[in-house]
Amino acid sequence: MGTSNSKMWLALLALGFVWGSSFILMKMALFDTAGERLFPALDVALGRIAIAGLAMAPLAWTHR
């Protein structure tokens, strides 16, 4: 039972890291180091959704 519990905590930690890092990466995609806007927010959000969709497509394909 300890191994399963450890795996669950590790998965939760990884999920928290991925979820939290998305905010930092979104800010990096929106602005350069001088504070100038690089891309519109909608473009960055659509790109993020597209990448997530491509990453989830194989999982959805195998579970249909």
Range(s) of the domain holding residue 29: 2-62
pLDDT for res 2? 62
pTM above 0.85, yes or no: no
CB 30 within 8 A of CB 44: yes
Number of domains comprising the chain: 1
- With a cut of 90, say whether residue 62 has pLDDT above it: yes
pLDDT digits (tens, 9 = 90+) for 11-55: 999 999 988 888 888 888 888 888 899 888 899 889 889 999 999
pLDDT for res 1? 52
Concatenated DSSP letters of 2-40: HHHHHHHHHHHHHHHHHHHHHHHHHHHHHB-TTS-B-S-
The residue to which tokens 């399963």 are assigned: 4
pLDDT for res 54? 95
Both structure tokens of 22: 């998305």
- What are the C-alpha distances in Å from 54 to residues 1, 23, 29, 35? 34, 20, 19, 30
